[in-house]
Amino acid sequence: MNNRLQHAAIILAAGASRRLGTPKQLVSINNETLLNRTLRLASSTHPAQLLLVLGYRADEIYASVKHNVERVECLDWQTGMSASLRAGLQHVNADCAGALIMLCDQTSLSDDHLKVLLETWMHQPGCAVASGYGDEIGVPAFLPRSWFAELNDVRGDQGARQLLRSRSDVIQIAAPDLVHDIDFVHELPTNFS
């Protein structure tokens, strides 16, 4: 029996990608959609659950998935990222000690960074372990179950970032490359297909 703490991986993919003008979940780089790349990376952490939160064009996006996921519908996705986060957290199994929160627009994310986040969280599971880039702290991040109730109170177009900034029980792992995500067409990597 494995004594490692169990976690859920929650991929927040409910948004409409308004600034990009096309669903970023379906953008393909090196013959792999950003969503499938993110799911592959999340799977590398060996989560007890792999939860995919969908909203905008949910059926079309879900049809593109090549991984075994639990589909979570976020009916109020238009109210912002907090709705997606709440929807995902509500589906985390009771035996999971925390959740890895991820987005699908971080094209520089590596499984090596996720492994460092995971190992750090395994040693200090009462803390959040988050990525630091630029002047920001954010996802991907492991959030302990003890944070879930407070995260359920977050509203609007924000996820866990404000809570990560305000609490002292947060370990930050530097990931300077993650400062670049894709919100606009000119930000797409040159090998965009």
The CATH number of the domain where 64 resides is what? 3.90.550.10
* Domain range for 101: 7-187
Residue 103 located in a structural domain: yes
Contacts of 10 (CB under 8 A, 6+ apart): 51, 53, 85, 88, 89, 92, 99, 100, 101, 102
Number of structural domains found in the chain:
1
Structure tokens at 77: 């996705």
Distance CA 52, CA 140 (A): 14
Cβ-contact 69, 48 below 8 angstroms: no
Burial of residue 116 (CB within 10 Å: 0-12, 13-18, 19+) is middle
Per-residue pLDDT of the chain (193 residues; tens, 9 = 90+): 345 799 999 999 998 766 665 678 888 888 999 999 999 999 999 999 999 999 999 999 999 999 999 999 999 998 888 899 999 999 999 999 999 999 998 989 999 999 999 999 999 999 999 999 988 899 999 999 999 999 988 776 667 888 899 999 999 999 998 887 665 444 455 444 3
